Structure 1
Amino acid sequence: MSGVWWEYSAVFFITAILSIVLTPMALRYAIRANVLDQPGKHKSHKVAVPYLGGLAIVATFVIAVVAMSVLRPPHTGREELLGVLAIAVFLAAVGFIDDLRQVSPLWRLVAEITAAVIVWYLGNGTAVATAGVVDLSLTVLWFVGVTNAFNLLDNMDGLAAGLAAISSMTVFAVAGTNGQFLVAGLAVALAGCTVGFLRLNFHPARIYMGDGGALFIGFLVAYLGIKLRFDGGRLVSALVPIFACSAAVFDTSLVVISRVRAGRSPFQGGQDHVSHRLVKLGLPVPAAVGTIYLGAIGVGILSFAISRLEAVSALLLAGLVGATLTILGGFLLAVPVYTGDAE
């Protein structure tokens, strides 16, 4: 077993180093192509920032997966692995086109639903429901929800990449201790890609991942979460990946509730995410992002604990975590973020 953990460590450091090497190349290409995210009403940065950093993440992960499939081919699931990789690259391409030329939200949604249906057809349901139509619906909801949640998380320097790394490492811990070595390997590779990207993405960011990178990592985190299997019953098996992605799920839920309460469209952009609310409370950007990191790590550890407990204990702990997040959400909702809110 110790040999396997050394291999995981090697995968993490190699992908992190490769991402560190490729990210400046993506930066230079974005500058030459004039693909810059300009400051605007709903944006927190003050200067134009290149936003094709997702190219480095995608390239690093593709190289890592292809190398792993050649050097250490899995006993089963190689075709599924390459198929899912192709789907993730397809979604990244949709995102990159959106970065360059704008893609209508409807077509993006169609692409995401299509990707989710294909993954389900390959045998990757939620394991929550046995009925085909119900399981398909839940699978589509999971993939579309998590994919877009990570896209929405890309609202402050280092946030989406860091949280993707934390979610991936949570999946890695659960999968690795349950004998799901392929899932663990993919998770640690994704963590390495995103950690390496943080070198130029953390505050003050010199490059953003863009929609291409955000859709790519969001889809992969959703896929890795849905692949987790362990003895704990259907409900516990569903809760663990949700808690592994807790920061993304929490932020998206908070934003949707906040906008609906304010009479705004849930699809309207704005500085009303958890990160923006923490800045409103007086935290500088690095501290706000770091606070969210710590919260995600804490829930990730609890997610791992839930996967190791008996069903009743796991559900009690999950209920405690859920109640705590609900109280925290109520506190953050009270922070004024819209024009006209009481100061």
Structure 2
Amino acid sequence: MLYGIAAAATALLLSALLAELLRVPALRLGILDRRRRWALPLSGGTAVVLATGLVAGLGDRAGLAPLGTGVGRLLAAGAWVGVLGLAADVWRLRWWIPLAGTAVAAALVVPYAETGVSAGVLAVAWVVAVAAAFRGLDHADGLAGTVAALAAFGVAACAAAEPMEGIAVLMAVLAAALAGFLLHNWHPARVGLGAGGSLFTGFVVASSAVFVRAGQGIGVGAGVLFAVTAVACADAALVVLGRRLSRWPVTRGRPDHLGHRLRRLGLAPRAVTVLLAAAALGGVLAGVGVHTGRMSGGAALWVAAVAAVVVLALLRLPVTPVFRPRQRSSEASVQVSERLRVRSG
């Protein structure tokens, strides 16, 4: 117990410190969120990955909080997914490359002995889908980090009820690392999460949830897994369904996520984050309640029903056709110099 508190506090402080220290190198290397009109360095994802890996890994190595063989492999696979996401941030890899790497990592960590082959394959697909959903959720200041921290706390509570101490410690450390990152990511954000941090977070949360529910009822398990990640799943469903209906390529970005549509209703950026965080908290509480037996499986069905109603309602809102991507500073400076030269001439 005491180690868990100390580990969480260490992860929070380390993540906050690393996010600030890595900010300038990320700016100089051009590791930026290209969807914005100002330079937002994506140092937060690296900070979350490093803080989570160092604190949980050192605790396991020192014997203070052994993760176990399966959980240690999960953390290593998550680090691989984080590196792959960072590569996508730097080199703008094709969309399928990070997802393919995430699928390979998920296939290596799913506990097939408890799930069975068929359910294990479904679990791999679900882990990949959740990782992609968290990457898509990283479209508003503070949103992905807050929702992910709540989901991690939910999975930690489910793991503690088993008890599965390794998963519980890992999720507590991850939630604390995300909280440290959020000190810099609340609107207006100074650092971003990026593909590296969002894919890592989604992968670790989803894989840990699979570990916790492995060997239990598939129907109830699916409800629990959805409830703890309801906001991310609803955002992904809204995007895919909306783009399919409008015949827009699913892999081509545009401002049609939950946060974007709520902003069109007149909500302020911070209000959007708070509202969706409250929704995520409700889903997490329902998922933990169902897992621990304090609520019936119907609570997870209510979460799914509410998510479906919200998705269908927001589909009716109009969407701006395309992003207006931020120009790189070098390109912008060249254009400004050219305009001044023409005017002076």
TM-score class, shorter: 0.7 to 0.9
Match of 1:72 in 2: 63
**Amino acid aligned to 2:303:** V
Aligned residues: 322
Match of 1:103 among 84, 93, 103: 93
> % of aligned pairs identical?
28
Q: 1:52 touches 1:96 (CA, 8 Å); kept in 2?
A: no
Match of 1:141 in 2: 125
Q: 1:126 touches 1:138 (CA, 8 Å); kept in 2?
A: no
Match of 2:4 in 1: 8
- Residue 121 of structure 2 corresponds to residue 166 of structure 1: no
How do residues 30-69 of structure 1 correspond to structure 2 at under 5 angstroms?
A: 30-38=26-34, 43=35, 45-69=36-60
Match of 1:192 in 2: 176
Report the secondary structure of 1:155's partner residue.
coil
Runs of 4+ in 1 over 4 A off after TM superposition: none
Deviation (angstroms), 1:98: 1.4
Q: Provide the rounded CA distance (Å) in 2 between the counterparts of 1:175 and 1:81.
A: 12
Q: 2:65 touches 2:169 (CA, 8 Å); kept in 1?
A: no
Match of 2:106 in 1: 116
Q: 1:125 touches 1:226 (CA, 8 Å); kept in 2?
A: no
Match of 1:328 in 2: 310
Match of 1:25 among 13, 16, 21: 21
Deviation (angstroms), 1:230: 8.3
Q: Provide the rounded CA distance (Å) in 1 between the counterparts of 2:277 and 2:287.
A: 15
Aligned-residue CA RMSD (Å): 2.1
Report the secondary structure of 2:57's partner residue.
helix
Q: 1:153 touches 1:248 (CA, 8 Å); kept in 2?
A: yes
Q: Provide the rounded CA distance (Å) in 2 between the counterparts of 1:126 and 1:244.
A: 21
Deviation (angstroms), 1:124: 5.0
Deviation (angstroms), 1:321: 2.2
**Amino acid aligned to 2:270:** P
Of 227-236 and 138-147, deviating more is 227-236
Q: Provide the rounded CA distance (Å) in 2 between the counterparts of 1:251 and 1:155.
A: 11
Q: Provide the rounded CA distance (Å) in 2 between the counterparts of 1:136 and 1:253.
A: 22
Q: Provide the rounded CA distance (Å) in 1 between the counterparts of 2:19 and 2:289.
A: 35
Q: Provide the rounded CA distance (Å) in 2 between the counterparts of 1:288 and 1:63.
A: 32
Match of 1:89 in 2: 79
Match of 1:246 in 2: 230
State the Cα deviation string for residues 238-261 of structure 1 (Å, max 9, x = none): 221221111111110111111111
Q: Provide the rounded CA distance (Å) in 2 between the counterparts of 1:209 and 1:62.
A: 16
Q: Per the alignment, do residues 109 and 141 of structure 1 end up closer, same or farther by CA in structure 2, a change over 3 Å counting?
A: same
Q: Provide the rounded CA distance (Å) in 2 between the counterparts of 1:328 and 1:125.
A: 37
Match of 2:250 in 1: 266
- Residue 240 of structure 2 corresponds to residue 256 of structure 1: yes
Report the secondary structure of 1:228's partner residue.
helix
Q: Provide the rounded CA distance (Å) in 2 between the counterparts of 1:218 and 1:231.
A: 22
Report the secondary structure of 1:49's partner residue.
coil
How do residues 206-285 of structure 1 correspond to structure 2 at under 5 angstroms?
A: 206-229=190-213, 233-285=217-269
Deviation (angstroms), 1:126: 7.8
Q: 1:176 touches 1:184 (CA, 8 Å); kept in 2?
A: yes
Q: Per the alignment, do residues 126 and 23 of structure 1 end up closer, same or farther by CA in structure 2, a change over 3 Å counting?
A: farther
Q: Provide the rounded CA distance (Å) in 2 between the counterparts of 1:163 and 1:92.
A: 18
What TM-score do you get using the length of structure 1 for normalisation? Answer: 0.88
Deviation (angstroms), 1:79: 3.1
Match of 1:309 in 2: 293
Deviation (angstroms), 1:308: 2.6
Q: Provide the rounded CA distance (Å) in 2 between the counterparts of 1:82 and 1:119.
A: 10
Q: 2:43 touches 2:191 (CA, 8 Å); kept in 1?
A: yes
Q: 2:42 touches 2:191 (CA, 8 Å); kept in 1?
A: yes
Report the secondary structure of 2:152's partner residue.
helix
Give unmatched runs, 5+ long, in structure 2.
Answer: 323-345
Q: 1:162 touches 1:198 (CA, 8 Å); kept in 2?
A: yes
Give unmatched runs, 5+ long, in structure 1.
Answer: none
Q: 2:237 touches 2:311 (CA, 8 Å); kept in 1?
A: no
**Amino acid aligned to 1:185:** V
Deviation (angstroms), 1:86: 2.0
Q: Provide the rounded CA distance (Å) in 1 between the counterparts of 2:215 and 2:86.
A: 39
